[in-house]
Amino acid sequence: MTPDSPRPNPHGGAGPSGGAGPSGGAGPASGWADRFADELLRLGVQPPRARRLAEETTQQAAECATAPDALFGPAHLYARHLITELNTAALNPTALNPTAFNPTALNPAVPKAGAGPSGGAIDPGDVRLRLTGVGKRYRRRTIFAGVNLTVRAGEVAAIVGANGCGKSTLLRICASLTRPSSGTVQRTRRVGFVPQDGGTAGWLTADEHFTLFGAAAGVAPRRARSTGEHLAGRLAWRPSRDQLTQHLSGGTRQKLNLVLGELHSPDLLLLDEPYQGFDQGTYLSFWQQILAWRDAGKAVVVVTHLLHDLQHVNQVHDLGATA
């Protein structure tokens, strides 16, 4: 599913007739979504938009395999927080997108501080990411096991392997977005994560993304916009002020994703094949950018299928060869 396609209701069924409730199903997620939509309505958001925001939010939680209340907190408080933040950012309230305030959910450019459930934050020294004996199972199926990986400041690591061997899953574990079944994850606190696809909201402009992701990372709106525009320029892209993301080409949306991943100046960048749709020139700029990050002392982990990328990297982890 693309980020711009209508989001299916993760719980099935239509909303209660006449109300904003996005789900007709029972269960904690649908209850959260209904409470969230109700509070948005109470705060003056139009019913169709409230319904869509609630669907989007619960869908993002489902994609993170997390209950909405675990990801966003109590529904009514999150709705109020959203409205307050939007007013602070002086944005057009018709462009509301709740998940933009939770980068972990929309484009997890700022995953929660510290490490995954089984690890801890790394601070001193130059190690930015350390995986020790990390494994992942879905039910009885082992996807991978025994992954050891250390990435230091100024290094680029590539994760390679056949389709379905778990590269994206491993990257999500590095970002603390997926829980490992075994092993420990330690990483620096400032992490930028660029997903393979998704991660942007179709009804926001690029500038609005910069402002909202900046707000989530504590960057003032004007600075976030100028930083975003500067980073976009390095990918040969000049964002238009009023063009909605849903009207951008796939490659340009990926540029936006990359910019959002770097907006808060992370120490560790986790990139999941972020170049899909790039033309040749942009692809070369992308790799130049990775080398510039490396030379600036950042650590980079990139999932790739393209073996000629590997000439640029310091280490290659073949996930197909793990376990």
Interface residues toward ligand ATP, by CB under 6 A: 65, 138, 143, 161, 163-169
Minimum CB distance to ligand ATP smaller for 139 or for 238:
139
What phi and psi values does residue 86 have, to the nearest 5 degrees? -65, -40
Residue 246 to residue 244: CA distance in whole angstroms? 5
Minimum CB distance to ligand ATP smaller for 42 or for 137:
137
Least CB distance from residue 56 to ligand ATP, whole Å?
19
Residue 68 to residue 46: CA distance in whole angstroms? 22
Least CB distance from residue 144 to ligand ATP, whole Å?
8
Side by side, which strands form the sheet with 127-138? 141-152, 127-138, 182-187
Residue 40 to residue 127: CA distance in whole angstroms? 43
Minimum CB distance to ligand ATP smaller for 143 or for 145:
143
Residue 289 to residue 137: CA distance in whole angstroms? 34
Least CB distance from residue 113 to ligand ATP, whole Å?
24
Minimum CB distance to ligand ATP smaller for 16 or for 164:
164
3-state SS class at 141: strand
Residue 57 to residue 15: CA distance in whole angstroms? 15
Least CB distance from residue 203 to ligand ATP, whole Å?
27
Minimum CB distance to ligand ATP smaller for 22 or for 166:
166
Residue 10 to residue 323: CA distance in whole angstroms? 33
Residue type, 267: D
Q: 194 pairs with which residues across the strands? A: 271
Minimum CB distance to ligand ATP smaller for 7 or for 81:
7
Residue 189 to residue 116: CA distance in whole angstroms? 11
- Rg of the chain's alpha carbons, rounded to an integer? 19
Least CB distance from residue 149 to ligand ATP, whole Å?
15
The two tokens of residue 18 are: 């006449």
Least CB distance from residue 57 to ligand ATP, whole Å?
19
Least CB distance from residue 164 to ligand ATP, whole Å?
4
Minimum CB distance to ligand ATP smaller for 7 or for 152:
7
Segments of 56-201 assigned E as strands: 127-138, 141-152, 156-160, 182-187, 191-194
First to last CA, the chain: 30
Residue 238 to residue 289: CA distance in whole angstroms? 17
Minimum CB distance to ligand ATP smaller for 122 or for 173:
173
94 exposure class (CB count in 10 Å sphere: 0-12, 13-18, 19+): exposed
3-state SS class at 98: helix
Least CB distance from residue 142 to ligand ATP, whole Å?
10
Minimum CB distance to ligand ATP smaller for 96 or for 175:
175
Least CB distance from residue 198 to ligand ATP, whole Å?
13
